[in-house]
Amino acid sequence: MSNSNKRGTVKVINGRYRPDGSFHYNYPNTPIYDEAGKLMGVTNPRDLTHIHAYGGESQFFSSLKDGEIWGTKCENPDCEHTGTVNLPYKIYCPDCLKKAIPVNLTATAIKSATVHTFMVTERTGAFNTLEKPIRFINIEFEGVDTILMSYLSVGEPKVGMRVVPIFRKVEPTFTILDLSWVPLGTSVEKLPDGFSFSK
């Protein structure tokens, strides 16, 4: 590592990841005492930078900032389930393991996205940055064989509710959080900061 005080970044040179800087930081620990002052343990502060490789899924994440949702379709004629459309994006068909073809599902999502089921929660995984309560929704689409997990940004979810996608085009995070949903008919003024409709 060239400079231990520099937070880790990665470049790709000739198709290979080239990490630079520090990906792990340790901080001084602190004692944990009980009411009588007896040592009960210590904290171990750690700071890690994970590298999350997108590989063949990169198109899905890079297209969100452009207001597009991409899935994949199996076009292998020998596949038992040829024609299956997957969203989330799957690089390989889970049935025949052949490479699937990317398909633009933006128009499909706009005209047919419907809440299949939902869950409203105050308790989430570590490092979840969404505002609570989080309205997780599972979304179905016409002609798509899978259900997409995402979150509703405006209103309260209902089973069967028509929703439309919104995209974080301003300062995108390049994660799945750049895609969210609002009830059909929501006005642009109600969208969260940085988000807009597809077009």
CB 159, CB 181: distance < 8 Å: no
Among 64, 69, 74, 163, which residue interacts with Zn ion (rule: CB under 5 A)? 74
The CA distance from 62 to 60, in Å, is 6
Q: Which of 119, 130, 89 is nearest to 106 (CA)?
A: 89
CB of 68 to Zn ion, least distance (A): 23
Residue 138 φ then ψ, to 5°: -105, 125
Q: Is 79 in the site for Zn ion (CB under 5 A)?
A: yes
For residue 9, the minimal CB distance to Zn ion (Å) is: 37
**Rounded Cα–Cα distance for residues 40 and 92 (Å):** 50
Q: How many residues bind Zn ion (CB under 5 A)?
A: 6
Binders of Zn ion in range 86-105 (CB under 5 A): 93, 95-96
Q: Would you say 110 or 144 has its CB closer to Zn ion? A: 144
Minimum CB distance to Zn ion smaller for 45 or for 143: 143
Tell me the residue length of the chain: 199
Query: How far is Cα of residue 10 from the mean position of the Cα atoms in its chain?
Result: 20
* Nearest distance, CB of residue 121 and Zn ion, angstroms: 34
Nearer to Zn ion, 103 or 115 (CB): 103
Tell me which long-range contacts 188-194 makes (C-beta under 8 A, separation of at least 24).
190/154, 191/153, 191/154, 191/166, 192/153, 192/166, 194/168, 194/169, 194/170
In the complex with Zn ion, which residue's Cβ is closer, 95 or 156? 95
Nearest CB to Zn ion, comparing residues 34 and 78 = 78
Stretch 169-188 residues interacting with Zn ion (CB under 5 A): none
Q: Least distance to Zn ion from the beta carbon of 81, Å? A: 6
Q: Which residues bind Zn ion (CB under 5 A)?
A: 74, 76, 79, 93, 95-96
